[in-house]
Chains A and B, each alone.
Chain A
Amino acid sequence: MTERVPVLKIGDVLLVSIQVDLEDQTVLDLQDDLAARIVATGASGVVIDITAVEIVDSFVGRMLATTAAISRMLDAETVVVGMRPAVAITLVELGLSLGGVRTALTLEKGLDMLARPDSRPPAKP
């Protein structure tokens, strides 16, 4: 039995706040849960809060990129918020720059970004 990360709905945005050290299976479950919830709720945005996440390795990094791509296909935009500076430095050195993933420094800025989707050019593929 692996635990599941809760997916909360606020308006037409789904919010996921990762608070535990993620096991790989939990990461895959979250990806599936999010895709299902986007379709079930018709959400137009997804915010993934990683404020509490101490490391993002290539597996979690790939999940973030894949989730952003899947939600885009399901007509929802994803924003990753709250990345720690040490995590950003490590990810880039690891070789993952998450080119297709939109980020914001805080939850508030992330929600704001989703509320005004045209305020920024679309992410490069």
Chain B
Amino acid sequence: MSGPRPVPDADHETITIESNDDVVRARQLVRTLAQRCKLSLVDQTKLVTAASELARNTLVYGGGGVMRTGLVRRDSRVGVTAVFEDSGPGIPDLDLALTDGWTSGGGLGLGLSGARRLVDDFTLDTEVGRGTQVAVTKWAR
């Protein structure tokens, strides 16, 4: 989690997440980057699954938003980062939202807490009434 700030490569892509179709596009884009970054098959699967959960959260709970994704470097390591941003209602109780099984909607309550377990770095900024930003990174081993 700590260490120097990851340096993003120049060519990060941004896509809007406004429909179920965009959730599919988001995970396909992250998969392409994970392959380019030469993540192991298990790590690719974990990252793409986390991206799928977070993209759906952006759509369902955030009322839509954007995903920005690309390769990042820190020291000599390369990773894939994906940042999900919405201007939705925000999360009033973060501890609760990160608890397994808790959901404010109709889901299983595993999206946020599960996504956090599947990645190496996870940061979440949220403000009630303003929106939520979740950033995840998976580093090549």
Contact = CB atoms under 8 A, between A and B. Distances in A.
A, B in one complex:
yes
Contacts, number: 72
A109 interface: no
Interface of B: 20-21, 23-24, 27-28, 31, 41-42, 44-46, 48-49, 52-53, 56, 100, 107-108, 110-111, 113-114, 117-118
Contacts of A22: 24
A90 B118 contact: yes
A94 B49 contact: yes
Place the interface of chain A in its size category: 20 to 34
A61 B41 CA distance: 19
Interface string A83-100: 011110110011110000
A7 to B, nearest CB: 21
A23 B108 contact: no
Interface of A: 2, 21-25, 54-59, 61-62, 84-87, 89-90, 93-96
Nearest to A65: B108
B110 A55 contact: no
